[in-house]
Structure 1
Amino acid sequence: MTAACQLAAGLAAAPQPADPVSLGHLLVLAMLWLVTAWRLPAAVRNPRQRTLWTAFAALAVSITLGLPAITDWVDTASGVHNVVMVIKHLIGLVACDGVLAFVTATTRPESAPRLRRLQLAVLFAAQAGLVVSFCLLRHTVEVADFFQDYPGSVPVAVYELTFAGYLGSAMGFASWLFGTSARRAAAGWLRTGLRVLGAGTTAGFCYAALRVCQVVLQLDDRPMFLRASLLYDIEWTAIALILLGSSIPAVGSAWTALRAWRTARRLRPLWAALTTAVPEVVLTAPLGRSPRVLLHRRVIEIRDASLVLAGYADEELRERVARQAGTDRPELAEALLLRACGAQKLAGRFPGHQAAPQPTESFAELDFEAETRRLLSLAAAHRSASAIPVIDPELQDVP
């Protein structure tokens, strides 16, 4: 999503033939404003998120200024032909800079302060170049395509080269960051997303390079070696790749959250039974909204309750449980033992003199996925064990 802002800020602001505003463009613009409003609280709280919010906000403003009605109103109100174009491009450069700052701080935090100074210097130089070259051109009429309607103009060429040069530099730098980050990222959704993002920013770099070639060739009165439609195909391919790449990690995160929520839901009956017998193991810190945190809490509390209840199991009880469950059903044996020990604790009995067995590894060292799979098997066995009478006859009426 961050890279989508970066390329779209430049490519959406780049000179293009005038087209009527489509429903798709309006939907994208509405989504941008919604994302800008949604990220505002995080931007207020977190300085790192502030640059990303700036990118979204600048991109939303830039595209809004490109709407025909807004463009006509700004140009008419200012009394300067085509002034909305340079305003839009200046804001587009701010959006690019915001995303560059965010990506740099995220992927290269140790180099971020030094690179930030360089990024700001390049940004201000590019903006100054746009303003100066725009002012050197006499704007006698309103034009639909700034570049094509002033062929051979040196100020327009400088303007185009400045804009395309900054966009290409940003795309090239982002491609390098995404490429190196993808190599270090763990396999899965994130790595795939970074690779697609890198492909998209590489396509954006190629687009900017071709725009530079187009300007140079036109100054020499030579035709472009690619047709204009192919150039815009490269542009939109870059946008599509970056939008796809930015959505892949988000889809992966949503899928991981859904899996965590479903797993926590499947563990809930086992968790409820054990924490009813051992309520003191339930953590009191707020859970928040993360399904992953909920799942971690369930696993921790099930493990802690199991350790407490293990102190109620003497050798005789363990032997009876093993005989009833059978040697080939260890999950059922553990489930029966937990039910029997839980019943003893609820009946007010005291644990035996033997120490409860301690785990051989800390929770931080635990293979969380393997432990979760084990507890899911235990939860299934615990449900089936509910049809088996409690082993101790004195505890039959204990829930």
Structure 2
Amino acid sequence: MSVVVYLAAAVLALSATVLFRRPRAAVRNPLTVSTCVAILLGAVVFACSAPMTLSAVNSLTGVPNFGAPLTYGMLTAYSCSLLILLINWRGGPPGRVRRLVLRSIAVYGPLVVAVVVLFALADAHTERLTDLDTYYANTPYMREMIVLYLLGHTAVIVATSVVCVRWGREVTGLLRTGLRLILVGALLDLAGFQLTKYTAIVARWSGHDLDFLSTTVAPPMASLAALICSAGFVLPRLLPAAGAHWRGLRDHRRLVPLWSRVGFVSTAPKPPASWWQLPEERLHWREVAIHDALLALAPYFDDTVRERARAAALREGRGAHEARVAAEAAMLAEAARRAAAQEEPQETPSTYRLHATEVSGAGGLVELAQALGRTPVSDKAREGTVKAFHG
């Protein structure tokens, strides 16, 4: 069981690390901070609840079952962090958000203290690594401690479920998907973890033995529920950024035919090389460098070449826009050839503006790059480009 619990803890910790990848920006965002704190506390709870960890903690402290108040205190703090995360996620006036956060801390802070005090008062000298809840279900103070941490966690999960249902009716898209995942995780926690715990404890109170519900069923259900909840909190924040990075990487690669033709005349300063540079940042620099190269090649633009290529494209049955881009690619290819051969610019500079320079974003440049990729490159242009890149 320890392996499964440690795996869940590792996945949760990795999720928090991804969210907190830019510490300076993250610490200024209460939502990011509360999300990372909640996920990290969840990871700590799982790590602490593993039998191997419990045994190590008990041995280090010399107190039998010391891992119990540690785990339950962390679980109570995790419950509080979930509540604070929901408050920050839902948002609202800053004053109201601050008051709700302080109220949550005011309720769950004493609850953590109560868990520790009740354990200190209890007689729990027999170490139990997997069945402590049921073994001590009838022991004074331990009984109250167990019920108290369960009730505190139940209150948060019920509140989370209610918020998800109500808020889910008001939103759409990824946020609604995230809320549904959180709701699924919360219901799984209620049914798979808490209900089984309550059932096993009540069975002990009535003289029956249903310990397997607490020792075998509850732990994996808690791990799965926490992972699903964390996915609900994280995915709506990560997927848009991941999509933007993917589009940046895709467009950066699609600009290769254009950059390989015109890059040798660009004078844009290169950014410091770094393996962690985001695709969007690399794409932005390539756009700037290409625009700089297009400006440098403008004196070589030949309107005659462009008009001839445009007429040929129209005769082939291409649409007006496609013919325009193909003609611009032909004109640019000729301009790059002449620049690479160090020929003189046009006597009368063209005033024509490329479509790619009239639209924002990388879309126009990508169109030009794809058209240029279908335009043959002369040996002179290839030789000049290679020399420029390696000179």
Counterpart in 1 of 2:69? Answer: 86
What's the CA shift string for 1:358-393, capped at 9, x where partnerless? 879986xx5x5xx53x54443232122125799xxx
Q: Does 1:146 align with 2:132?
A: yes
Counterpart residue identity of residue 100, structure 2: L
By how many angstroms is 1:352 displaced?
4.3
- The residue aligned with 2:157 is 171
Deviations 1:227-246 (A, max 9, x none): 93766675455245346657
Q: 1:238 aligns with which of 197, 201, 225?
A: 225
Write the deviation string for residues 70-112 of structure 1: whole angstroms up to 9, x where unpaired. Answer: 4345435545432220012112333444455456445527444
Separation in 2, partners of 1:94, 1:234: 20
CA distance in 2, matches of 1:41, 1:135: 40
| Range that drifts further, 311-320 or 112-121 | 311-320
Of 113, 117, 121, the match for 2:102: 117
SS of corresponding position for 2:134: coil
Amino acid at match of 2:68: M
Paired with 2:62 and 2:89, the residues of 1 have a C-alpha distance of: 43
- Distance in 2 (CA, whole Å) between partners of 1:133 and 1:276 is 74
Q: 2-side partners of 1:40 and 1:314: how far apart? A: 51
Cα deviation per residue 1:38-91 (whole Å; 9 max; x = unaligned)?
888855874356555555554555444444454345435545432220012112
How many Å separate the matches in 1 of 2:26 and 2:199?
A: 42
Going from structure 1 to structure 2, the CA distance change for 1:175 and 1:299 (only over 3 Å counts) comes to: farther
**When the two structures are aligned, how many residues end up with a matched partner?**
365
Where does residue 260 of structure 1 map in the other structure?
248
Alpha-carbon shift at residue 160 of structure 1 (Å): 2.8
Does the 8 Å contact 1:313/1:352 carry over to 2? no
Q: How does 1:31-180 map to 2 (within 5 A)?
A: 46-47=26-27, 48=29, 54-55=37-38, 58-76=41-59, 78-98=61-81, 100-102=83-85, 104-105=87-88, 107-108=90-91, 110-111=93-94, 112-144=97-129, 145-153=131-139, 155-175=141-161, 180=167
Q: Deviations over 1:271-306 (max 9, x none)?
A: 2323434x24x3655586111232344345545654
| Distance in 2, Cα, partners of 1:335 & 1:360 | 11
**How has the CA–CA distance of structure 1 residues 110 and 41 changed in structure 2, closer, same or farther, with 3 Å as cutoff?**
same
What pairs up with 1:386-397 in 2 under 5 angstroms? 386-387=376-377
Counterpart for residue 269 of structure 1: 257
Q: Distance in 2 between matches of 1:77 and 1:397?
A: 71
Partner deviation per Cα, 1:123-148 (whole Å, 9 max, x = no partner): 21221231233234322433452331
Structure 1 136/377 Cα, relative in aligned 2: closer, same or farther at 3 Å?
same
* Contact 2:203–2:210 (CA under 8 A) maintained in structure 1: no
Secondary structure of 1:147's counterpart equals helix
What value does the CA root-mean-square deviation take over the aligned residues? 4.8
Deviation at 1:252, TM superposition (A): 7.7
1:13 aligned residue: none
One-letter code aligned to 1:379: A
Report if the CA contact (8 A) 1:217-1:224 is conserved.
Answer: no
Who is 1:337 aligned against? 331
Equivalent residue, structure 2, for 1:384: 374
One-letter amino acid of the counterpart of residue 210, structure 1: L
Gaps of 5+ in 1: 1-18
| Superposition map of 1:184-195 within 5 A | 184=171, 186-187=173-174, 192-195=177-180
* Structure 2 residue aligned with 1:9: none
Distance 2:40 2:227 in 1: 20
2:316 pairs with 1:349 = no
- Measure the CA separation in 1 of the matches of 2:337 and 2:245: 34
The superposition leaves residues 144-183 of structure 1 with CA deviations (integer Å, 9 ceiling, x where unpaired) of 5233123445634432332123222333444466664796
Distance in structure 2 (CA, Å) of the matches to 1:396 and 1:147? 75
Counterpart AA for 2:255: L
CA–CA distance in structure 2, aligned partners of residues 236 and 70 of structure 1:
16
Cα distance in structure 2, aligned partners of 1:168 and 1:206: 11
Provide the C-alpha distance between the structure 1 equivalents of 2:239 and 2:172, rounded to a whole number of angstroms. 17
Aligned match of 1:5: none
Equivalents in 1 of 2:260, 2:207: separation in Å?
77
Unaligned runs of 5+ in 2: 386-391
Matched-pair contact (CA < 8 Å) for 1:275–1:302: yes
Quick check: 210-219 or 146-155, which moved more?
A: 210-219
The superposition leaves residues 317-367 of structure 1 with CA deviations (integer Å, 9 ceiling, x where unpaired) of 43233234444251321210222334455634268466454879986xx5x
Please say which of residues 235-244 and 80-89 is displaced more in the overlay. 235-244
Q: Tell me, what secondary structure is at the counterpart of 1:385?
A: coil
Call closer, same or farther: CA 1:26–1:209 in 2, change over 3 Å: closer
* C-alpha deviation, 1:263, in angstroms: 3.2
Identity in percent: 19
Contact 2:182 2:233 in 1 (8 A): yes
CA distance in 1, matches of 2:347, 2:107: 71
Give the letter aligned to residue 254 of structure 2: R
